[in-house]
Chains A and B, each alone.
Chain A
């Protein structure tokens, strides 16, 4: 079952507007423009589509909020600031099938009454920028963008904006700050972007993958979409499998797939012996062999105390040291914290120093209580999601592999001979 990757499966597919149309592209746009905006939103709401960026907020409700919000002009933003380590799903869409995103954004603009759109692109995605720029130009020539789109009284213009490589700017309010030309730091909510987003205008911010599912829902209907995947996590999801697997890559699968299937069936198994799986990237959790039968939908993963996030699955074999792997995650957050609020700014820094003490053979068993205090306060008091999840990986790793941590701290010994 392929929805997003259906065109890309064909190796010769170049992603030009002609090819896209020949594969049935922009049909959904035509269908949508013949409908009333309320009906499109109702369809999206009924489909049960949830945001694929990590927070899993129901997309239809977001669209409705922007539609009902007062303010002019309304803005649509595609969040293409894909910065989570181990995630590379949007890149595939942006580089190989950019028109899929454009079509969905135009539909969203029509449904919510927006007239301006931005694609906030990760700074490092140079190729994607070129593909998007070319696609926008093509779409403009084909009259899918600009004034009086498809003969309707509907105008929409689209711009690509390159970020400067900050992970924090993937958070929607920080993204909007950055888009306004300011320092990328999360805003206080409320107000939510749907009320006061870009320059205080009602703004719809959706992930690229979320948008990419829209045309199929419009064409085939909400009921068809609901029939795929799990009950509260409908549709397909792009899973990015990387690490010590035989076939790393992006896999589009219905959301009721199990982790075991994903690793062993689709990614063709583990290189060596499986030790840990990180689900959700550095902000996710370290799980072991025993967790492999979990279903990869929002509800099941949340019930296990993790987050699906953007769908990153990183597999580690038994030659990898857990402490070293966690240190990588902690260092990532130490570097990417925006520095606005104290718990995240100082907490990530101190967590990193604590980890460094292990490597310097200076750590004491006091380490565990400090980490658990830090984790608790950062989760409780951080200003945005980044700080709230920053120590998930560390705490889950300690929970899953307590012995390995104890060996490092008490015996100053690393069983993989990496740390010392």
Chain B
């Protein structure tokens, strides 16, 4: 790679060709303020805040979009530049509601931070905000167009990364806003929530369900049972000032009990159960029903939603196993309720997920009511749980550790890594290998499916047979994999035996309900999950003693009739627009949950 040398504020900087001025300045410790630009996304030149002076150019240039060139002389701070940056931020604020105190993004808002950094103290312009009402139509996400600063991040992630195309720019000049036509409900939105994690302001945000949880917690009649997803434990600490990539599972258990949760279980147990069912399903297809291959994982509700809406031809390939939190939900309301002799109507199942789509999944179809009740009553995102902790005055990091309740809170290492891209595949392979060969698998680390590459392919040898697997994260990447499957199918070949897809870039650790952070943070969270996996004594799902006990006492064996009734679901062909309006037995609840 050839290098270029440029001068930034008089300092000589050597960078690779193709580096932006923004990145070059960062190398020497100069942080040029930005707003629309994000390292994960190819969005640039919209906010005009990162402007710098380049010798020989009459106007100011954007540091985010201008590439460094040999001999360039850049000035990043002088009166003219400050004036331009501040005026541009003032202009944005002149049409922004600026009701920070009531905003969901309060203290997490990039516009707020920028205004503070630039020292905006007065508003010289008329404060006239955009007209617009909040789009509450979706069950998982809300859009408040009046707070939209038209940076284009959500439009980019929805159209280029996820390739769903639910969001676009509307109108022009000062009335421009990003939204969905006519509303999110009647759009192809798959509720992955990536738009919420990249929106710099509070224009797109999750639907909050904390009030319902408070109500249940304060009702002495109701027994509140909680579960936390693998990705939650490595991310929630960030909201309390912990550095990224540190797991605090046991402190979260303590905090949940402090909130008033009666029984603390863990989604990782559900993940173990999912793996046993899914791996058995794979083994069945691999050994007996080759025509039904490839098997595609179904743990990600956004992905399921995408398949049902965009690629209904693929639904026969998707695993019928429910996602972990649904499995745990139904087990709590059947197996555990029977065992504890508790009326399942009194159980309030709370699941804490890194995900906005799970809010939709709990009402996805009849199968989500397998226990006779709604299996999971409310799903909170990691961010919502963190807010509840803060409201309750819980100082998460200073709490003592405590253990989860048995039997549904004990998990194996395979359940933990569910939260990272490649994790489900790795966990399933650990079990499937032993199911097929009947031998003990010594080397449980399948490192070829780990990491942040868009599509990871690997060939695993089981009993002299080659198993071709693919792991994709981000719907755009998954689409590529599907295309390949279709192409090979036409030729009569099998592209892969087993495919794992997670809708969010990075997997669940980068879910739409997680604390805000880019790919770098997501990778650190994933590393923390693999760390916990390494430290656990049991690392294969089917060796989890409580899973074995569950099958002995209740389910019989994997894929038994009872297991099918409770732990598996069906898939439907849904219309692209308004596809969520599916016969849901509890329509009244749907309305209630939307306030």
Min distance, Cβ A365 to any Cβ of chain B, angstroms: 14
User: Knowing A345-B150, A346-B91 touch, does A379 contact B59 (C-beta < 8 A)?
Assistant: yes
| Nearest neighbor of B168 in chain A, beta-carbon distance | A183
Chain A CB within 10 A, most for which of B49, B80, B125: B125
Min distance, Cβ B66 to any Cβ of chain A, angstroms: 9
Q: In the bound complex, how far is the Cα of B57 from the Cα of A388, in angstroms?
A: 14
Give every chain B residue within 8 A of A353 (Cβ-Cβ). Answer: 125-126, 128
Instruction: Report yes or no: A347 in contact with B45, Cβ–Cβ below 8 A.
Output: no
Min distance, Cβ A138 to any Cβ of chain B, angstroms: 37
Chain B CB within 10 A, most for which of A188, A336, A342, A354: A342
Q: Is B95 an interface residue (CB 8 A)?
A: yes
| Nearest neighbor of A353 in chain B, beta-carbon distance | B126
Instruction: Report yes or no: A383 in contact with B128, Cβ–Cβ below 8 A.
Output: no
Q: Is B210 an interface residue (CB 8 A)?
A: no
Instruction: Report yes or no: A166 in contact with B46, Cβ–Cβ below 8 A.
Output: no
Q: In the bound complex, how far is the Cα of B44 from the Cα of A302, in angstroms?
A: 31
User: Knowing A188-B65, A353-B125, A380-B60 touch, does A342 contact B171 (C-beta < 8 A)?
Assistant: no
Instruction: Report yes or no: A337 in contact with B45, Cβ–Cβ below 8 A.
Output: no
Give every chain A residue within 8 A of B25 (Cβ-Cβ). Answer: none
Supplied contacts A188-B65, A373-B87, 16 more A-B pairs, CB within 8 Å: A335-B173, A339-B171, A339-B173, A339-B174, A342-B91, A343-B48, A348-B173, A353-B125, A353-B126, A370-B125, A374-B87, A377-B84, A377-B87, A381-B62, A383-B45, A388-B59
Q: In the bound complex, how far is the Cα of B91 from the Cα of A337, in angstroms?
A: 15
Instruction: Report yes or no: A380 in contact with B84, Cβ–Cβ below 8 A.
Output: yes
Instruction: Report yes or no: A339 in contact with B59, Cβ–Cβ below 8 A.
Output: no
Min distance, Cβ B152 to any Cβ of chain A, angstroms: 8
Q: Is A96 an interface residue (CB 8 A)?
A: no
Instruction: Report yes or no: A345 in contact with B174, Cβ–Cβ below 8 A.
Output: yes
Q: In the bound complex, how far is the Cα of B88 from the Cα of A373, in angstroms?
A: 11
Q: Is A349 an interface residue (CB 8 A)?
A: yes
Q: Is A382 an interface residue (CB 8 A)?
A: yes
Q: Is B172 an interface residue (CB 8 A)?
A: yes
User: Knowing A380-B51, A381-B59 touch, does A340 contact B46 (C-beta < 8 A)?
Assistant: yes
Give every chain A residue within 8 A of B44 (Cβ-Cβ). Answer: 188
| Nearest neighbor of B171 in chain A, beta-carbon distance | A339
B 104-126 to A, binary, CB cutoff 8 A, 1 in contact else 0: 00000000000000000000111
Min distance, Cβ B327 to any Cβ of chain A, angstroms: 44
Instruction: Report yes or no: A341 in contact with B173, Cβ–Cβ below 8 A.
Output: no
Shortest 9 CB-CB contacts between residues of A and residues of B: A339-B176, A346-B91, A349-B174, A337-B173, A381-B48, A377-B87, A380-B60, A377-B84, A353-B126
A 251-282 to B, binary, CB cutoff 8 A, 1 in contact else 0: 00000000000000000000000000000000
Q: In the bound complex, how far is the Cα of B88 from the Cα of A347, in angstroms?
A: 8
Interface bin, chain B: 20 to 34
Give the dominant DSSP class at A's interface: helix
Chain A CB within 10 A, most for which of B88, B94, B172: B172
Q: In the bound complex, how far is the Cα of B149 from the Cα of A340, in angstroms?
A: 10
Q: Is B563 an interface residue (CB 8 A)?
A: no
Give every chain B residue within 8 A of A336 (Cβ-Cβ). Answer: 173
Instruction: Report yes or no: B174 in contact with A346, Cβ–Cβ below 8 A.
Output: yes
List residues of B (171-195) whose CB comes within 8 Å of A's CBs: 171-176
B 236-274 to A, binary, CB cutoff 8 A, 1 in contact else 0: 000000000000000000000000000000000000000
List residues of A (327-361) whose CB comes within 8 Å of B's CBs: 334-343, 345-350, 353-354, 357
List residues of B (224-240) whose CB comes within 8 Å of A's CBs: none
Cross-chain contact of B124 among A334, A343, A370, A383 (Cβ < 8 A): A370
Q: Is A376 an interface residue (CB 8 A)?
A: yes
Give every chain B residue within 8 A of A388 (Cβ-Cβ). Answer: 59
Give every chain B residue within 8 A of A350 (Cβ-Cβ). Answer: 91, 94, 125-126
Give every chain A residue within 8 A of B150 (Cβ-Cβ). Answer: 339-340, 345
B 143-183 to A, binary, CB cutoff 8 A, 1 in contact else 0: 00000011000000000000000000101111110000000
Cross-chain contact of A345 among B49, B80, B87, B176 (Cβ < 8 A): B176
B 56-97 to A, binary, CB cutoff 8 A, 1 in contact else 0: 000110100100000000000000100110011001101100
Q: In the bound complex, how far is the Cα of B174 from the Cα of A343, in angstroms?
A: 10
**Can you identify 25 A-B contacts, CB atoms within 8 angstroms?**
A166-B172, A188-B45, A334-B174, A338-B173, A339-B171, A341-B46, A342-B46, A342-B48, A343-B48, A345-B173, A345-B174, A345-B176, A346-B92, A346-B174, A349-B173, A350-B94, A353-B126, A354-B126, A357-B126, A370-B124, A377-B83, A377-B84, A380-B84, A381-B62, A381-B88
List residues of A (147-201) whose CB comes within 8 Å of B's CBs: 166, 183, 188
Give every chain A residue within 8 A of B449 (Cβ-Cβ). Answer: none
Q: In the bound complex, how far is the Cα of B173 from the Cα of A133, in angstroms?
A: 32
Q: In the bound complex, how far is the Cα of B125 from the Cα of A380, in angstroms?
A: 19
Chain A CB within 10 A, most for which of B44, B80, B126: B126
Min distance, Cβ B250 to any Cβ of chain A, angstroms: 46
Q: In the bound complex, how far is the Cα of B118 from the Cα of A349, in angstroms?
A: 23
Q: Is B296 an interface residue (CB 8 A)?
A: no
A 371-415 to B, binary, CB cutoff 8 A, 1 in contact else 0: 001101101111100001000000000000000000000000000
User: Knowing A342-B88, A377-B84 touch, does A382 contact B48 (C-beta < 8 A)?
Assistant: yes
Min distance, Cβ A397 to any Cβ of chain B, angstroms: 20
Give every chain A residue within 8 A of B175 (Cβ-Cβ). Answer: 339
B interface list, Cβ under 8 A from A = 44-49, 51, 59-60, 62, 65, 80, 83-84, 87-88, 91-92, 94-95, 124-126, 128, 149-150, 169, 171-176
Instruction: Report yes or no: A373 in contact with B83, Cβ–Cβ below 8 A.
Output: yes
Give every chain A residue within 8 A of B94 (Cβ-Cβ). Answer: 346, 350
Q: In the bound complex, how far is the Cα of B347 from the Cα of A287, in angstroms?
A: 79
| Nearest neighbor of B64 in chain A, beta-carbon distance | A188
Give every chain A residue within 8 A of B84 (Cβ-Cβ). Answer: 376-377, 380-381
Instruction: Report yes or no: B172 in contact with A338, Cβ–Cβ below 8 A.
Output: yes
Q: In the bound complex, how far is the Cα of B82 from the Cα of A381, in angstroms?
A: 12
Give every chain B residue within 8 A of A334 (Cβ-Cβ). Answer: 173-174
User: Knowing A349-B173, A373-B83 touch, does A341 contact B92 (C-beta < 8 A)?
Assistant: no
Instruction: Report yes or no: B169 in contact with A183, Cβ–Cβ below 8 A.
Output: yes
Cross-chain contact of B95 among A341, A349, A354, A379 (Cβ < 8 A): A349
Q: In the bound complex, how far is the Cα of B123 from the Cα of A353, in angstroms?
A: 14
| Nearest neighbor of A187 in chain B, beta-carbon distance | B45
Q: In the bound complex, how far is the Cα of B49 from the Cα of A354, in angstroms?
A: 23
Min distance, Cβ A414 to any Cβ of chain B, angstroms: 22
A 308-340 to B, binary, CB cutoff 8 A, 1 in contact else 0: 000000000000000000000000001111111
Q: In the bound complex, how far is the Cα of B84 from the Cα of A347, in angstroms?
A: 12
Give every chain A residue within 8 A of B171 (Cβ-Cβ). Answer: 339
Give every chain B residue within 8 A of A380 (Cβ-Cβ). Answer: 51, 59-60, 80, 84
Give every chain B residue within 8 A of A376 (Cβ-Cβ). Answer: 83-84
Q: In the bound complex, how far is the Cα of B91 from the Cα of A348, in angstroms?
A: 10
Min distance, Cβ B62 to any Cβ of chain A, angstroms: 8
Give every chain A residue within 8 A of B62 (Cβ-Cβ). Answer: 188, 381
Give every chain B residue within 8 A of A166 (Cβ-Cβ). Answer: 172
Cross-chain contact of B51 among A339, A357, A379, A381 (Cβ < 8 A): A381
Give every chain B residue within 8 A of A341 (Cβ-Cβ). Answer: 45-48
| Nearest neighbor of A186 in chain B, beta-carbon distance | B45
Min distance, Cβ A186 to any Cβ of chain B, angstroms: 9
Q: In the bound complex, how far is the Cα of B45 from the Cα of A352, in angstroms?
A: 24
Q: In the bound complex, how far is the Cα of B80 from the Cα of A345, in angstroms?
A: 20
Give every chain A residue within 8 A of B125 (Cβ-Cβ). Answer: 350, 353, 370
Min distance, Cβ B87 to any Cβ of chain A, angstroms: 4
Q: In the bound complex, how far is the Cα of B174 from the Cα of A379, in angstroms?
A: 18
Chain B CB within 10 A, most for which of A346, A348, A376: A346
User: Knowing A350-B94, A379-B59 touch, does A339 contact B87 (C-beta < 8 A)?
Assistant: no
Q: In the bound complex, how far is the Cα of B171 from the Cα of A335, in angstroms?
A: 11
Instruction: Report yes or no: B174 in contact with A348, Cβ–Cβ below 8 A.
Output: yes
Q: In the bound complex, how far is the Cα of B62 from the Cα of A383, in angstroms?
A: 9
Q: In the bound complex, how far is the Cα of B128 from the Cα of A138, in angstroms?
A: 54
Min distance, Cβ B78 to any Cβ of chain A, angstroms: 12
Chain A CB within 10 A, most for which of B80, B91, B92: B91
Chain A CB within 10 A, most for which of B65, B95, B173: B173
Q: In the bound complex, how far is the Cα of B49 from the Cα of A233, in angstroms?
A: 37
